[in-house]
Structure 1
């Protein structure tokens, strides 16, 4: 439980204000935490400024006074460019905690740790990707898969408490990323299963609503499967978790498998790549349905 005393003196910088980062900023402000935000798109910062966050014109400006810095950027390249390539790491406050919360994979996370230790040994890196998409992010109900130095836990506790329903600590930095890739591999297979079941139902003349009704409340029911089935049924592919980033996570999982045979995940990667190539990368992951039967 986060208390007023926990929040005292805590200042947060959020780098990356897309679907997830912007929701984090709003929840941090609502929790009474001093919050600065930065994004490559200045337009993305305007509504957050209206919500009470302080927009920064550079990463260095954003992190300078922050006790906790969150990166919520989509790729390892984006994280590296924002924090390391532009020299912003040197601007971190002494003793700050860097919470790397986007999904960038195990290799990149390890490399960031090495680079940070060389540049700023006083800054602690917490590898803390989140499980959840737009809805849970907006509600402050993300699952945070944290790993890293345990002495950083008190510093991030009020921050994680404002954006998540639960934080699970998993050991040394990198274990959070390992868990996130495993969870997202499971999720991807589940969603592709929903897409293909929906396609089969269509071919057999079964109404998608009846399919959902038959599954609801039984042992095959799962909240995310139900939500994605409904989005497919209504042709609503408004992004909650964009397909291009879901594909990125699948490919990171395959890379991390280190030669293990994962035939279903490999086939799924090829299938989703076709959907992204057809122009659906910015749509919700449920747009995987459109890659079936030439429906792109």
Structure 2
């Protein structure tokens, strides 16, 4: 499959297309709202009824189980936090058996390359009539709410027409990267890069405090120059304000860092490995559910 990109929002949904979203946390709920805004028939399910109640008000169908949610969906999106959660819902819970013939399962959470390979293989054996797309997203709460995620898709070309409308509703661009697993490989690399940027911001702010350098002046010095990066700027201001309201929880950022270390195999990633230890200390101190910007608290 050649690499292609697609961008833009659709004016309306494909007639009769139905989408199911399994997992309606910060990211999944934002995706579901954008699917509804694109006038797609959207069914949602989450282990917590509190997570789906606001979506019901917005017009989503709320299913009583994952099996019920996927029953007649053309596109099934799993936006669950870990590989174990995906396995539990789709295989142990037998949702995979309820998938419609010809449906596309779009696995969009970040769960690592090894897990994607295993899931794709199990699906091929159990449901060869269902297409599997590995499509993790790059972006946090704000981009998700605004339909501006970057979708790192990989999988069979035959799935692209089916997922096009749904992906256009939730993302600014879909980058097709090849066979299933290549999307997750790209996501691991991107998240490693992001983690280094965020820890760099945290340590620069800590150094500024120790040297009595004004944090606002530091931000102004960076703004508009070669060191300016949107994610770093956003987290710098959150750290400066002491605002740790979750956009990307630290515990999930740590999970992604550890996925990068695992994916590297025997190759050493000394900076990432040190970063993992540092962020684990912050999670162990009780900051895991706070935003990744709470990494700065481990430096105090």
TM-score bin (small chain)? over 0.9
> Counterpart of 1:113?
120
The answer as to 2:125 corresponding to 1:146 is no
**Is this contact kept in 2: 1:13–1:37, CA < 8 A?**
yes
> Counterpart of 2:40?
33
> Counterpart of 1:192?
199
Q: 1:217-274: per-residue Cα shift (whole Å, max 9, x none)? A: 1000011111000000000000000000000000001000011111000000000000
**SS state at 1:152 partner:** helix
> Counterpart of 1:159?
166
Distance 1:252 1:206, change over 3 A: same
CA–CA separation in structure 2 for the residues paired with 1:4 and 1:102 = 26
Distance 1:5 1:165, change over 3 A: closer
Q: 1:97-148: per-residue Cα shift (whole Å, max 9, x none)? A: 0000000000000000111111101011000000000000000000000000
Q: Deviation above 2 Å: which 4+ runs of structure 1?
A: 1-6
**SS state at 1:70 partner:** strand
Unpaired runs of 5+ residues, structure 1, are: none
Report the Cα offset of residue 207 of structure 1: 1.2
- Pairing 1:215-254 to 2, within 5 Å after superposition: 215-254=222-261
Unpaired runs of 5+ residues, structure 2, are: 1-7
Normalised by the size of structure 2, how large is the TM-score? Answer: 0.96
> Counterpart of 1:288?
295
CA–CA separation in structure 2 for the residues paired with 1:119 and 1:207 = 59
**Is this contact kept in 2: 1:2–1:157, CA < 8 A?**
no
Report the Cα offset of residue 76 of structure 1: 0.2
C-alpha root-mean-square deviation of aligned residues, in Å? 1.0
Distance 1:198 1:153, change over 3 A: same
Report the Cα offset of residue 4 of structure 1: 5.9
* Alignment equivalent of 2:69, drawn from 62, 71, 94: 62
Tell me how many residue pairs correspond in the alignment. Answer: 293
* Alignment equivalent of 1:76, drawn from 60, 70, 83: 83
The answer as to 2:87 corresponding to 1:88 is no
Distance 1:32 1:6, change over 3 A: closer
> Counterpart of 1:260?
267
**Is this contact kept in 2: 1:128–1:145, CA < 8 A?**
yes
